[in-house]
Amino acid sequence: MTNLKIGSSTFWWGSQTYIMGIINVTPDSFSGDGLIHDDDLWIQRAVEQGIRFVEEGAHILDVGGESTRPGAEPLETEAELERVLPVIEGLAREVDVPISIDTYKVKVAAAALDSGAHMVNDVWGLRIEPAIADLCAAKQVPLILMHNRSQPRNAVQEARLGGHYVGTEYNDLLGDISRELQDSINLAEKAGIPNEHIIIDPGIGFGKTVEQNLTLLNNLDYFKALGYPILLGPSNKSVIGYTLNLPPDERVEGTAATVSIGIDRGADIIRVHQVKEMARVAKMTDAIVRR
């Protein structure tokens, strides 16, 4: 059984499912949980949410300042820094679990690590700013590499159910994702990141249609062959909304189903909005499948 120390926590892969709680420091999260409203209390809200998540069972907190919903506009670097840094600093004072910075910008990642973050979650798998790999190697911190084929032209918006992707083509869905993840892994290794510091994420909802996401969820174990811990982020995603015909704020049961199946198929970390509920789902699923 392999392990990874992140901050003061040690993660033993295969022993249990770990929970990553989502801290969306945005005004426009697809899930409606963005913490920036028309007041000046968003930093306090974010820190309080992080504290609550840890009490509810989160093992990692993932802080992001730029919405990744289908069709979202890119955020300027300085604006992203203004959102995430005070929250990371506040969380670092209040919680004793690793903090992850959800960004694909090396300047944001560097500042976040200096402010108290312990790892980087790159939703573009080093395809936008490969220098993130050099940063993580120099800082000796873990890096999450996510698969992403998001293209604005393929994003379709529906008033009730939100955005989703259509017309995204793969020659071989699982094989293409695996090869593209391996490309990201190769970039990380070339920069000097050790294998034990790499976590992979097949990117549910990022440049994949509803049917492709369902196939991906059912075949998550395909990616175990790459040899790295797997993070799965299905929480409240469009695959749930369009399968059940439910808006983002009514997807907790669908999320629970994807979490349970994902764990059975080999997920090591589950990235979720509803920490309390999904920590219980993970604990029950672990009791069944990790025997």
Helix axes 131-139, 106-115, angle to 10 degrees: 20
Rounded-to-integer distance, Cα 28 and Cα 154, Å: 20
Whether 93 is catalytic: no
Instruction: Determine which one of 149, 237, 251, 265 is catalytic.
Output: 237
Rounded-to-integer distance, Cα 220 and Cα 201, Å: 10
* DSSP bridge partners of 157: 163
Instruction: Determine which one of 271, 280, 283, 290 is catalytic.
Output: 271
Q: Tokens standing for 65?
A: 């300042």
The 10 Å CB-count burial string (b at 16+, else e) for 98-129 is bbbbbbbbbbbbbbbbebbbbbbbbbbbbbbb
Q: How many CB atoms lie within 10 A of CB 234?
A: 27
SS3 for 154?
Answer: helix
Burial class (CB in 10 A: 0-12, 13-18, 19+), 159: exposed
Q: What are phi and psi of 95, to 5 degrees?
A: -125, 160
Sign of the Cα pseudo-torsion (79, 83, 88, 89, in order): positive
Whether 271 is catalytic: yes
Catalytic residues, by residue number, are 237, 271
